[in-house]
Amino acid sequence: MTENSQTAQRSGGLPRVNKITLSDVGQALGAGWHDFMRAPQYGLLFGGFYVLGGFAILAALVIYDMPWMIIPIAIGFPLIGPFIAVGLYDVSRRLQAGEPLRMGEIFGLMFRQKDRQLGWMAFVILFVFWIWVYQVRLLLAIFLGFKSFSSIGMFLAVITTTSEGLGFLAAGTLVGAGLSFVLFSSTVVAMPLLLERELDFVSAIITSFKAVTKNFLPMIGFAAVIVLFTFVAMVPAFLGLVLALPILGHATWHLYKRLVG
């Protein structure tokens, strides 16, 4: 931590936010790939937990006879990625600092976050996720009434071949994009910041928003990369997330270190 940031925190101010460029985003992604290759067992482990969570959601939807909700849930599922990536942030932090990687210490640090400000961020993320789920159901009721769909194929046919379905897609895309931007701006810097420093979560969220607004083009570029990687990775039944999550998680840490002085 620099002397300036220490002084700012002692005086109750926010951490200093730096200006970055698109080249910084590219370098952070490269560093994320490098960290993954240096410690692939950790990346695959955390990515595997994420994929298993996706399978559990799919199984629950099938059991409760709601296959039509698979697509909206799959689209919203990556919203909880930042919290799962906390362990990856610590791996990158340790690699950057030259500290040894010990599984017990990393999981212990993750477990202790429940008693720190980072635990409150979990509520923020889950709250946004549930807003997404409920707004999907609201839009379905508005555009498609209370129709039931017996299969994913029938659901896809309705939303892609009818005017009501296309209206649902348009409205859902706009609302989803807005929620995603809010969550990205709230967490992209706040999560690694709270892992590294003792700071209240509201100040961390404000710092995160400030980082995005001050570096709008580079950060929107990074968000676009996250969206592209995530949706491509989800196509093969979530399996690609085993690789996408750790690479993006490591990259987020390195971008954070460039953003926050």
- Backbone dihedral region for residue 116 (phi beyond 0: left; psi -120 to 50: alpha; all else: beta): beta
- Tell me the average pLDDT of the chain: 83
Round to whole Å and give the CA distance between 253 and 248.
9
Q: Which 3 state secondary structure label does DSSP give 17?
A: strand
**Averaged over 40-52, what is the pLDDT?**
87
Residue 70: pLDDT band with limits 50, 70, 90: low
Higher pLDDT, 2 or 154: 154
| The model's pTM | 0.81
Q: What is the DSSP code (8-state) at residue 13?
A: -
**Averaged over 106-120, what is the pLDDT?**
82
Residue 254: partners with Cβ closer than 8 Å, 6 or more residues away: 27, 28, 31, 32, 35, 92, 96
Report pLDDT digits (tens) over 208-244: 999 999 999 999 999 999 988 888 877 766 778 889 8
Residue 227: partners with Cβ closer than 8 Å, 6 or more residues away: 180
Q: Are 28 and 22 in contact (CB under 8 A)?
A: no
Least confident of 6-15, 70-79, 152-161, 211-220: 6-15
Q: Which 3 state secondary structure label does DSSP give 216?
A: helix
Report pLDDT digits (tens) over 122-174: 788 878 878 888 888 888 888 888 666 666 777 778 888 888 889 988 998 88
Q: Which residues pair with 164 in a beta bridge?
A: none
**Residue 78: predicted pLDDT:** 58
Least confident of 36-40, 129-133, 256-260: 129-133
User: In the chain, where are the structural domains located?
Assistant: 16-259
- Backbone dihedral region for residue 98 (phi beyond 0: left; psi -120 to 50: alpha; all else: beta): left
The residue assigned the tokens 């990346």 is: 43
